[in-house]
Structure 1
């Protein structure tokens, strides 16, 4: 097989778009990192009942879940570039509202801002698909990898923004960090305006099986369960971790750096995860990710030092990468080409909905039972997902899958 496929004339535009989207990912992807680093901490300062401390982070996840389908419809109607411009504008307004809520000590306003940050995220999460829109089949993997590299940069930019701005407004703690988040969104507007997407066309959505029939497939159930567990548990533990660190006497800066290492671990392996899947199979890589998630909980149960928290967050990020990407690859075995759009939308809605629920649960459990309770809750879902993935792997070897 030819390993070096020349870039076609059409891929000149694709390379440009991939670079633009990688930069936009670095800026837009920093937004959730900032909210995750500070949302629970600011929430605990604004609300008397600490059970609700992580609600701002949970609302960001809810905003992401509820925004996925409207964002897709908007971009289908008006095109990628227009949609991304609107999304970045929403991000700038959202950050300003969050800053006003933090500075004015208004919990409801802060929550509104973080919810809108989630709406912005529903646009950002589709950058990887947009990178492939104008790419040839040969260039698509590289185009997506470039955007994933932007996610790696976002893992540095977000927490570092918190580190350098957290003390700039002593009278309004952390308001400057959210204003910095808004500035990043404004920069993203300038970046995505350079996107050169393909023209908007009417896509025929005919044929294919009913969605209910597809979702009843055992392999779909196993795949989506693995994705739900990988992403949901990552969100659950990650949301609680900064609050737990501060509660154990560690600094805000150490908590933010922990999130930075976590996000780097989430995106860093993406350059070779595909190769691992090709070599070892989707089921094995997914199972490895789930096992790493369980290992993160084991580390969390064995100590409360900064090193324990950081190592747990790194393992959690690695577990998400292998578990979620592997599960996503498994989902692609469940549908025909003409069924792709509706199945992907259903998958994303289920996954991000579970992320929102997990995030909402984290604060209450942390407040009621402590950090140990958060970690103990990881094991049952991981066990269920591992059984389903292993069963699916055995079924696949016993008889070739047929759509």
Structure 2
């Protein structure tokens, strides 16, 4: 107990580590809301949409808004600082959650899509929590800082689906309105936490300088592998994950079963983050990325082998862990491609491309699931995962020094 206490005190005394703790908590609360939305969005869409193939449209609009927010969010943070940007995003997100609550009361699908867009703005700002940690960390702590901030999602894995179930009947008989209202209350907490963050505003030089042209940076093999891996990791994860509750309900399973599977999926996404940074330091970022791609392919194989709750559970856990390895690795790799003056535009371009692809996957997942079925959704993911696997293997051959960071 003494060693744990002294370690915690030391962590809180170190500005970098204190920032990681606060950013991890903010990430956790942001992801709890996102996890809740993942659990209920498609089901709410099915409840109130006239065309059931449009059930995942609110989530798709949310992802689109997140994508469109990434560039202005990054530029705003370069001008006004990280804390100001995060606070603005949270305030907008709370408004979106309240609007979604009202939309469900009114059974207004168009308004629900609008509210999802507003919530997506908050998510666009929240994506930079991991970069905020990396920016202030020493080189040997970057991958650990990124992974530890993402580890805040463990709280989301437990709290999100359970909060969805607890708040589902809060405004009975208007199902799920309480779930979105709970998000609005939950997101009040980061408003307080962010006042304790210790990240200085960008210097005058950093705000004015722009560094190399973006196209030059994007031509680097390391950047290409990082961006393709991040796109594939997030888009394919989102496509399979979003369709899973629909597939489970179509098999006759209950909402509680879907919530249980999503909970374990989110846990799989974020629990490994406690040690992913250490694994990268020990085995090299590219080896961990290769393992992630293989695990995601394993998810597809399990899903294609049958449809029962055990397979849904195992596949979504593999999907979550695979995403963690591939996405944390890709983010770590990306930080090697720019200098401080270039970080805003590179991070913005990265997240714009990543979440643009996620938007496409969200738009298509519900349509694919309803029109062609579960097997087609999973089969569609396979070639993209193979491409990512081959590109990481190519960089590993081309740049063997990237196989170890120690």
What is the TM-score of this pair, normalised by structure 2?
0.89
Give distance in 2, aligned partners of 1:78 and 1:365. Answer: 42
Contact (CA 8 Å) 2:75, 2:344: kept in 1 or not? no
In structure 2, the residue matched to 1:342 is: 345
Q: Does 1:50 align with 2:52?
A: yes
Shift of 1:71: 1.9
Give distance in 2, aligned partners of 1:386 and 1:146. Answer: 25
Give distance in 2, aligned partners of 1:9 and 1:233. Answer: 36
Which of 23, 28, 31 matches 2:30? 28
1:21/1:396 CA distance change after superposition, 3 Å: closer
Shift of 1:212: 1.4
Aligned pairs for 1:161-180 (under 5 A) are 161-180=163-182
Q: Does 1:366 align with 2:379?
A: no
Give distance in 2, aligned partners of 1:79 and 1:109. Answer: 32
Shift of 1:136: 6.0
Q: Deviations over 1:2-57 (max 9, x none)?
A: xx999989944444443333322222211111111111111111112222110111
Shift of 1:93: 0.8
Q: Deviations over 1:162-210 (max 9, x none)?
A: 1111122232110011111111012222332333432453215546432
Contact (CA 8 Å) 1:133, 1:197: kept in 2 or not? no
Aligned pairs for 1:236-275 (under 5 A) are 236-275=239-278
Tell me, which stretches of 5 or more residues in structure 1 are unaligned?
A: none
Shift of 1:351: 0.8
Give distance in 1, aligned partners of 2:83 and 2:400. Answer: 43
Give distance in 2, aligned partners of 1:181 and 1:145. Answer: 24
1:161/1:281 CA distance change after superposition, 3 Å: same
Which of 112, 115, 123 matches 1:121? 123
1:389/1:24 CA distance change after superposition, 3 Å: closer
Name the SS of the counterpart of 1:29 in structure 2: helix
Give distance in 2, aligned partners of 1:11 and 1:60. Answer: 37
Q: Deviations over 1:312-361 (max 9, x none)?
A: 11110011011112222333344455433322221111111111111111
Name the SS of the counterpart of 2:187 in structure 1: helix
Shift of 1:275: 2.4
Aligned pairs for 1:77-156 (under 5 A) are 77-131=79-133, 144=146, 146-156=148-158
Q: Deviations over 1:89-118 (max 9, x none)?
A: 111111111111112110011111111111
Q: Does 1:388 align with 2:381?
A: no
Q: Deviations over 1:124-145 (max 9, x none)?
A: 2222333456666677666555
Shift of 1:300: 0.8
Contact (CA 8 Å) 2:147, 2:328: kept in 1 or not? no
Contact (CA 8 Å) 1:104, 1:172: kept in 2 or not? no
Q: Deviations over 1:239-279 (max 9, x none)?
A: 11111111211111211121111111111111221222233
Contact (CA 8 Å) 1:103, 1:171: kept in 2 or not? no
1:345/1:207 CA distance change after superposition, 3 Å: closer
1:369/1:44 CA distance change after superposition, 3 Å: same
Greater shift in the superposed pair: 125-134 or 228-237: 125-134
In structure 2, the residue matched to 1:194 is: 196
Give distance in 1, aligned partners of 2:276 and 2:402. Answer: 26
Give distance in 1, aligned partners of 2:84 and 2:238. Answer: 30
1:343/1:138 CA distance change after superposition, 3 Å: closer
Greater shift in the superposed pair: 110-119 or 121-130: 121-130
Q: Does 1:321 align with 2:327?
A: no
1:303/1:358 CA distance change after superposition, 3 Å: same
Q: Does 1:293 align with 2:296?
A: yes
Greater shift in the superposed pair: 123-132 or 256-265: 123-132
Give distance in 1, aligned partners of 2:82 and 2:43. Answer: 35
Tell me, which stretches of 5 or more residues in structure 2 are unaligned?
A: 1-5
Which of 223, 227, 249 matches 1:224? 227
Greater shift in the superposed pair: 356-365 or 72-81: 72-81
What is the TM-score of this pair, normalised by structure 1?
0.90
Which of 313, 328, 332 matches 2:335? 332
Give distance in 2, aligned partners of 1:371 and 1:387. Answer: 26
RMSD: 2.8
Greater shift in the superposed pair: 11-20 or 129-138: 129-138
Name the SS of the counterpart of 1:197 in structure 2: coil
